[in-house]
Structure 1
Amino acid sequence: MNLVPRAGALMPLSILLVYVLTLLPLPGALLYAKPFWLGLFIIWLSLERPRNGRIGFAFCLGLGADLLLGTWFGEHAFRLVVMAFIVGRFRARLRFFPLWQQTLAVGALLLNDRIVVLMLRSFDAPVSTDALYWLPASTGMLLWPVLVVALDDLRQRMRVRSG
């Protein structure tokens, strides 16, 4: 039995998985460490599959997240568009960084996302943060190498299967 999905079903399954990971409840203190799965997905798509990781796709994925999570309509869309734009702009450099440098760049992108969230939420009311507010960026940065290796392995299996 082959567990690798067909190429045509891979993108919808990936989107579903990212939404499930985003909605997944975590217990207690782990809730503060939950990475921005949508952001990691858009970064990876923008680096590896630039046709699929465009700004319009990021916008639609973000609107879906806004509907699922009940946040301001457009908040996640704006965040993902900013992320897709930055990665698209520097794709030629980021793609060929060694994994450790790429991990640091992803950490910087995720920190930038936290700043964008602060900016967006400060339009409504004054926002104060503590040290735990920045933890999802660190968690996402630490998960990046694992995700890249796993997704590259999946892509290799897809090539072998289709080739």
Structure 2
Amino acid sequence: MPAARAPAGGAREVLLLPVKPWFIALSLLAALLIDFLPLGRVAWMPDLVALTLVFWNVHQPRRVGMAVAFVLGLAVDVQQGSVLGQHALAYTVLSYFAISLHRRLLWFPPLQQALHLLPLLIATQVLLLAVGMWAGGSFPGWTFLLTPFLQAALWVPLSWVLLAPQRRAPDSDRNRPL
């Protein structure tokens, strides 16, 4: 009989509780409100809506799909005064590819997931830049391309925070490890 293989990352696998739909909605709303804060919008500021959207696309693709991405993108477009549909298109494309990769991504620990998502995040930024410049916008500078790297760096803490409510034991008991 072959020896049992350790899960990716060498850590013990943890059974997760089902996610509550209100928690998904609350996390997306919180990301949207944080993005709406007037923090002196700089070009390299990470897009928390895109990152939270990708997280739920990977972990709950049946609950958070491309329609949610499109609506959130329109909300960001209206708030930022950008071309209507610019973020909607970028978020929808990002969601499509995140959903198509979700089975493979879940085999890896969060740090490796971030490395797998980095090309998608870079493509999203390039798409935002292309649509913005096509519509007559100006080039925001090369620091604009720092955003996907910051988003990839935020993937690990965001994963830990958004999965925390699912890690708790349903009925904590000293005699039962689950």
TM-score, normalised to structure 1, is 0.82
1:10 aligns with 2:23: yes
Please tell me whether the aligned partners of residues 66 and 95 of structure 2 are also in contact (alpha carbons under 8 angstroms): yes
Please tell me whether the aligned partners of residues 55 and 84 of structure 1 are also in contact (alpha carbons under 8 angstroms): yes
Match of 2:170 among 150, 157, 160: 160
Count of residue pairs the alignment pairs up: 154
Q: How big is the shift at 1:87?
A: 0.8
SS in structure 1 opposite 2:170? helix
1:84 aligns with 2:84: no
Instruction: Report 1:93-104 matches (<5 A).
Output: 93-104=104-115
Identity of aligned residues (%): 24
Structure 2, gaps ≥5 residues long? 1-18, 172-178
Q: How big is the shift at 1:126?
A: 7.0
CA RMSD of aligned residues (A): 2.4
Q: Residue 44 of structure 1 corresponds to which residue in structure 2? A: 55
Instruction: Report 1:109-124 matches (<5 A).
Output: 109-124=120-135
SS in structure 2 opposite 1:96? coil
Change beyond 3 A, Cα 1:33–1:126: closer
Please tell me whether the aligned partners of residues 47 and 147 of structure 2 are also in contact (alpha carbons under 8 angstroms): yes
Structure 1, gaps ≥5 residues long? 1-5
Please tell me whether the aligned partners of residues 25 and 31 of structure 1 are also in contact (alpha carbons under 8 angstroms): no
Q: How big is the shift at 1:106?
A: 2.2
Q: How big is the shift at 1:131?
A: 2.8
Q: Residue 137 of structure 1 corresponds to which residue in structure 2? A: 148
Q: How big is the shift at 1:91?
A: 1.5
Please tell me whether the aligned partners of residues 83 and 132 of structure 2 are also in contact (alpha carbons under 8 angstroms): no
Higher alpha-carbon deviation: 33-42 or 80-89 = 33-42
SS in structure 2 opposite 1:33? coil
Q: Residue 39 of structure 2 corresponds to which residue in structure 1? A: 26
Identify the structure with the greater helix proportion. 1
TM-score, normalised to structure 2, is 0.76
Runs of 4+ in 1 over 4 A off after TM superposition: none
Instruction: Report 1:59-78 matches (<5 A).
Output: 59-78=70-89
> Structure 2 CA distance, aligned partners of 1:137 and 1:19?
17
Match of 1:105 among 93, 116, 123: 116
Q: How big is the shift at 1:141?
A: 0.9
